[in-house]
Amino acid sequence: MKGEVVLVTGGSRGIGAAAARRFAAEGARVAVLSRRLADAEAVAAEVGGLAVAADVADEVAVGRAVDAVEAALGPVGVLVNNAGVVARHPVEGHPVDVWDRVLAVNLRGAFLVARAVLPGMLAAGRGRILNVSSISGRLGTAELSAYCASKWGLIGFTKALAAEVKGRGVVVTALCPGSVDTAMLRATDLGFAPDMTPADVAEALLMLARAPAAIAGAAVDLFG
């Protein structure tokens, strides 16, 4: 990873912050993207990286953020598509705007950032896109319909994009963690203890970034 440009979305806390630290420890030049610039700056300062602010669901903001990263560090070699939100509602009373926001961040956001970094990866003939899905992309959970739909969709997007860029040097995979000790999980109050730490997930992401190209399109389970 020495000298590799790694962009981590949702990089200011939880899995994203752990991934930023882990890739930086391997010598990567890390860009930390978050909606909150101050939070991104705190993690970037810790890892000697670059902070950029954007809402991943905003097409224009994503384009500007990726342009800023590439101007400062060079083309992105590894994208960790980690930004995500969760909302707990029964379907019969699920607010439509909340449903739309979960899908916008978790699925549209991953698409927008992947689309923005792809030209640089394809021009270089190499790149890795790591989409952080979830165990909720494998099964259904009551009152997490929007979250499950977004994470199942992210696996489908991963497989479609992997097929699209096959043979062009870009490898696309997904990681499906089980319960992880993050502020987002604690706020969701699912009633059980997490099985893993963010550092565990970061280690698996590093493994995927180093895995052979034959892994393209895989959705790797990490259930603790």
Question: Is 200 an active-site residue?
Answer: no
Q: Which of 147, 148, 150, 176 is catalytic?
A: 147
Instruction: Name the pairing type of β-strands 78-81 and 219-222.
Output: unpaired
Q: In what order do the strands lie in the sheet with 170-177?
A: 50-53, 29-34, 5-9, 78-81, 127-132, 170-177, 219-222
What are the angstrom distances between the C-alpha of 155 and each of 42, 173, 219? 31, 8, 7
Give catalytic residue positions: 147
